[in-house]
Structure 1
Amino acid sequence: MYKTERLGNIMDILNQKKVVNMRTLENLTFESRSTLRRDLIVLEGEHKIRRKFGQVELVNGNNMEFGYHTRSSENKNSKKIIAELASDFIGNNQALIIDSSTTAAYLEPYLNEKNNLIVITNGLQLAMKINSNPEIKTYIAGGKLRPFSGSIVGDTAREFLGDFHADTAFISCEGINADGVYMASDEQTAIKKQMINQAEHVILLCDHTKINKSDYYRMCDHTSIDMIITDVKPTDAFVQSMEQTGVEVVYENEQI
């Protein structure tokens, strides 16, 4: 099981029980004590849980978005594949809106190969990576820095984004299914909705673990996106359902 899946499983349990002892949590998660302890250290570091006297207590049940460093360590190969595929849709002299996701951060080497780009982002990590390139004019949203995420959110950030018009927006999600595209955070949902509104074309960067999944907040329906780029070919049923709504699905070795 992936680390983010384990963390999500622990949070699901705590959202139901609020407080649980370690032995019970071991039995419910089927994790070893050492693995469970490492996962709890991550969650405690992100202020989602509190450990004391052999018990684990939920701190904030409304936040299921894990921190940037946790997310960036997962599915690295998938993110590299997605970024390489996405690079085919980045050209010189373009204005791009790019979200703060760890997947989008892998676009950085391909951005640095282009000339005369405008990049508008709410992501600190991406902005810092491309900051030294004189061929990229970078605009970063102002607003509230979301703890541990490297992401700037809130009304100020949304208003900032509203002043731009981009050729393409590259955004990620927590899940996509037959009913729409989903996020775990209401703040991130609001920011990405604004990004969608400001771009001529919207490309969703989505690894295979997020397909046919949902989350707490519905970000948009399929008509709001033009393309999905993923690392592994989805089921024929999923591809056909997307194509019926005008969404192109791009994946590795599509030509084979």
Structure 2
Amino acid sequence: MNQQKRLLIIMERIKKEQSLTLQDIMQLTGASRDTARRDTIKLADNNLVIRTYGGISLANSFNKIDGYLGRTDQELQVKKQIAREASKLLLEKQNIYLDVSTTISLLPQYLANRNIKKAVTNSIDIADQFLKTTSIPTTILGGTLNKESRSVTGGYPIWELTKYRFDISFLSCAGINNQGIYYAHEEDIAMKQAIREKSNKIVLLCDHTKINLSHNYLIYTFEELDYLVTDKKIPEELAVRIGKSKIIYTKEKSYD
């Protein structure tokens, strides 16, 4: 059951019950404790419920439910379009790296019939998608499991990257503006630098919500970027700074 369906089921029940425990949600949706917890966080972040000790209670926001679920579905479609377009950059028998990202986790489904030599990732979800949808040889880096990002972090995966050479690496970002490409966490610095050093090409998957945003750490310059795949026209000044020939849009219109 996908998240959108689970959220709808949870909201339908909480409208009747006014509150639910985490155990209630697990039984209702058949989800694990961690998945149920992430669902409650998602609903709370969108002001649909209030998180309480051991569960959630209903917020006064019935009118927001339909709009939120519709928006979630639209966002997913945008991410799928970006992933599909990015997949077209791959050639046969290439070694690839996929970084932690919701958008990038949608990429493996478009590689099912591709002759990819090897895929490497530090994302649990991306590795799982490769196993489910492809027969591509896949390696997940070792290290410390991060519960929130569902990824492998720490110094060990950075060291492991030294053993590889990638034809293309697919990354996302926290923001991009005229200064360059930003990430949220301090541990991103060494990881992203290591990926750049071990990659022939860097492909950034970034939807319009990240454009003209800055974040905590400026890590990449535009000279280090080979392609940017996005869904809406980038402002002229920023497009020039990136390099218009590097920008790939999901729409048929090229925005030239």
TM-score (norm 1): 0.69
Q: Distance in 2 between matches of 1:254 and 1:34?
A: 34
Q: Distance in 2 between matches of 1:168 and 1:76?
A: 24
CA contact (8 A) 1:97 1:170 kept: yes
CA contact (8 A) 2:222 2:241 kept: no
Moved more, 186-195 or 93-102: 186-195
CA contact (8 A) 1:153 1:188 kept: no
**Residue in 2 that maps onto 1:248:** 246
SS in 1 for 2:93: coil
Q: What one-letter code is carried by the residue in structure 1 that aligns with 2:47? A: L
Deviation at 1:223, TM superposition (A): 1.3
Determine which of 44, 47, 62 is the counterpart of 1:36. Answer: 47
- Show the 5 A alignment for 1:56-95: 75-95=75-95
CA contact (8 A) 2:113 2:134 kept: no
Q: Distance in 1 between matches of 2:107 and 2:144?
A: 24
**Residue in 1 that maps onto 2:238:** 238
Q: What one-letter code is carried by the residue in structure 1 that aligns with 2:126? A: L
SS in 2 for 1:93: coil
Q: Distance in 2 between matches of 1:201 and 1:119?
A: 15
CA root-mean-square deviation:
2.8
| Structure 2 residues not aligned, in runs of 5+ | 1-43, 57-71
Q: Aligned pair 1:138/2:138, yes or no? A: yes
| Structure 1 residues not aligned, in runs of 5+ | 1-32, 46-50, 52-71
SS in 1 for 2:47: helix
CA contact (8 A) 1:170 1:205 kept: yes
**Residue in 1 that maps onto 2:177:** 177
SS in 2 for 1:149: coil
Q: 1:34 to 1:76 in 2, by over 3 A?
A: closer
Percent of counterpart pairs with the same letter?
30
SS in 2 for 1:131: helix
